[in-house]
Amino acid sequence: MRLSILCIAFLISAVGFSQNGTSLTDKQYLELQDQIRSSINSDIKSAFVSANRIEKSDNYIHKVFAIGAKSYLYQIDRDSVRSKQCYLAAYKLLDKIPSGSEKDKNEAYLLNFGGLSEWKRSDFSGALDCFLKGRELSKKADDLIQFVKFNNNIALINSEVGNYKLAIKASKEMEAYTNKIEYLYTGDQFIRSKSNLNLNLGTFYEKYYSSNKSKKYLLDSAEYYYKKALYYSKDLTFNKINAKTNLGNIAFEKKDLQKAKNIYHEVLFLSKHDSNLIKEYYTALYDLGSLCFERKEYEESLVYFQKVDSIYKIKKIENIQYVNSNYYQAKIYNIYGDAEKASTFSKTYIESYEENELKLNNEAYEVNLKLNHEDVKKEMLDIQEKYKDDILLKYVLIGFLLCSVVILLYVKSKRDKKKINDRVNAIIEAYKLQQPEHKSALAEMDEMTEPDEMTEVDEMAEVGKEEEKEYQVKREGVSISLDEEKENEILEKLAALEKKQYYLKPDFTQQAVAKKIKTNTTYLSYVVNKKFNKSFSEYSNELKINYVINEMITNPVYRKYSTQAIAESVGFKNAVSFTKSFNKRTGVTPAQFVKRLAATSSAGTTGAASTNENRL
């Protein structure tokens, strides 16, 4: 009997141990990876289960992917603290992987998860940094599928800040490239990739249309790509619902209200009983409410908006629909002549909007959202004015003070903005018309090459030869004179260094350059001062700042880098000294210069938040 009990205990422990196994085959690992990618937007619990199974592996490559995936899953679940903890833990484990293509590939995976998480936090600049770094690592590791994903995510960031043409061009290129490397995908992976690409293209065209509604063909293009996305999304519930919702929105825009209503009802039915699709269900309720309002079906519209409010208060999901539902309800009760409810909902709308504004960052789509809000806010204030006899005096005073502050800030902002814009426009025009004088002078010598390196003995011999030439030096600042040949020789060598952009290096100092071109600091300083009318430090900084200005004007991606990153790219030790030099050269800060450039390149566009789901 005792022996039987021991045997049973042994079997139970053996089964338990096998279930907590610490090894995965390559096939099992890839299958679990794909399960995470396919369920991350539609079933987060299932994605967590797959990630936890991978994390139990004794292979560090597996663990890094699993913990990186969990960092993004936690961010989807709005747990930023645990998301960041997982991300740091994954990077620590990455150090245990030997250098090579596998390490590069896994770091690229981490950067993708990190970029997606930053995106969820509305930090587009941080997300872009991750995607750009990850793309280079994927290319280095020859991971073409991941390379495509990074380019798609970069296209989405371009769309977020209003660069719709760039986003569309990049996505079309990636769709063609995906077809070219179809052999690398499994069947399901290829279908999912095509679904995502077409859904993205539809979104880009629709947002591009929103920025210029005179171009009706853009809406037709959006509809075409949403239908293609729907074709590839037969077994992808999340994508299918999003494609249908967007097709409903297009029907709404084209005033085919019955068709839009049918589509929204279909989305409502598909998402109603799936807890993982609560956001899609919530959005469908809002869409139906706004459509019924358009059709003057006010009672039905109120029913949908009340459900939107109820879900928001329980689930605390995205509040833009909740904010706008209060706007519509205020209008409906205004039509009904219900003073109390009209005032209550208009007040809630304004308060909710102002609260939401505190969370908005400096991205382009949010700026446009604020501008679009001004007319709506005026309409809400008019409703409250209509019922001013029912509103307490203190709220009237608060509204008056708020409007006064907004107007004062607006006037000041416009004045300051005009000064900055005029200054930056002048810089841009001047820079396009002509390069700085010293640069154009040196450009004439661009056929020169860098001098050969010399040994220490050669340098001593060279110095001896120099002393025999026809020039004299009076060292205590009285005077320095060089023959024209020697001056031209120094200028030619400087031109060679300038052509190779040697000035971008941190060690581009007077001493280092003098040594590099086989002269001394006294002669170098004299030539620079004589030819350019500035000290060597000023000459060096001007080269660096001119390089930055040119990159900012011609390279949209360069503008997205942080000030610190730009400073380091041209040899400055920190952002403070770089900003000081930039301001001295241009009269504005780097941030002000970039903001004006962005406004110039995307003038007239309106922003709208796009979903960053399904980008894994």
DSSP secondary structure of 64-119: HHHHHHHHHHHHHTT-HHHHHHHHHHHHHHHTTSPSSHHHHHHHHHHHHHHHHHHH
Tell me, what's the pLDDT at 419? Answer: 73
CB atoms within 10 A of CB 173: 13
Nearest-angstrom CA–CA distance, 49 and 85:
19
| 468: pLDDT strictly greater than 90 | no
Q: Which tens digit of pLDDT belongs to each residue from 199-213?
A: 999 999 999 998 888
Give the DSSP letter string of 215-267: -HHHHHHHHHHHHHHHHHTTT-HHHHHHHHHHHHHHHHHTT-HHHHHHHHHHH
Nearest-angstrom CA–CA distance, 116 and 134:
12
Nearest-angstrom CA–CA distance, 179 and 358:
44
Tell me, what's the pLDDT at 390? Answer: 58
Nearest-angstrom CA–CA distance, 495 and 570:
18
Q: Which residue has the higher pLDDT, 466 or 573?
A: 573
Nearest-angstrom CA–CA distance, 615 and 108:
14
Residue 87 phi, psi (nearest 5): -65, -45
**CATH no. for 19-142:** 1.25.40
> Could you check whether 19-142 and 437-601 share the same CATH topology?
no
* pLDDT interval class at 380 (50, 70, 90): low
Nearest-angstrom CA–CA distance, 616 and 130:
13
Q: Which tens digit of pLDDT belongs to each residue from 480-520?
A: 667 788 888 888 888 888 888 888 888 888 898 888 888 88
Helix (H, G, I), strand (E, B) or coil at 389: helix
Q: Which tens digit of pLDDT belongs to each residue from 409-465?
A: 887 777 777 777 777 777 777 666 655 443 433 343 333 334 344 433 344 334 334
Residues 332-355, mean pLDDT to the nearest whole number: 81
Q: Which residue has the higher pLDDT, 360 or 419?
A: 419
Domain extent listing, the chain: 19-142, 437-601
Helix (H, G, I), strand (E, B) or coil at 22: coil
Q: Which residue has the higher pLDDT, 421 or 114?
A: 114
Q: Which residue has the higher pLDDT, 287 or 319?
A: 287
Helix (H, G, I), strand (E, B) or coil at 614: coil
Nearest-angstrom CA–CA distance, 73 and 48:
7
User: DSSP secondary-structure letter at 451?
Assistant: P
Q: Which residues contact 104 (CB under 8 A, 6 or more apart)?
A: 137, 138, 140, 141
Candidates 530, 456, 434, 533; CA nearest to 490 is: 530
* pLDDT interval class at 323 (50, 70, 90): confident
Nearest-angstrom CA–CA distance, 549 and 541:
12
Tell me, what's the pLDDT at 124? Answer: 85
pTM of the model: 0.53
Q: Which tens digit of pLDDT belongs to each residue from 302-313?
A: 999 888 888 888
Tell me, what's the pLDDT at 273? Answer: 80
Yes or no: say if 141 and 150 are a contact pair by the CB < 8 Å rule: no
Tell me, what's the pLDDT at 27? Answer: 87
Q: Which residue has the higher pLDDT, 4 or 216?
A: 216
Half-sphere exposure of 367 (CA within 13 A, CB side): 13
* C-alpha torsion 65→71→75→78, nearest 10: 140
Tell me, what's the pLDDT at 476? Answer: 38
Tell me, what's the pLDDT at 204? Answer: 92
Q: Which residue has the higher pLDDT, 113 or 33?
A: 113
Class of CATH domain 437-601? mainly alpha
* pLDDT interval class at 130 (50, 70, 90): very high
Q: Which tens digit of pLDDT belongs to each residue from 223-242?
A: 999 999 999 988 888 889 99
Tell me, what's the pLDDT at 438? Answer: 39
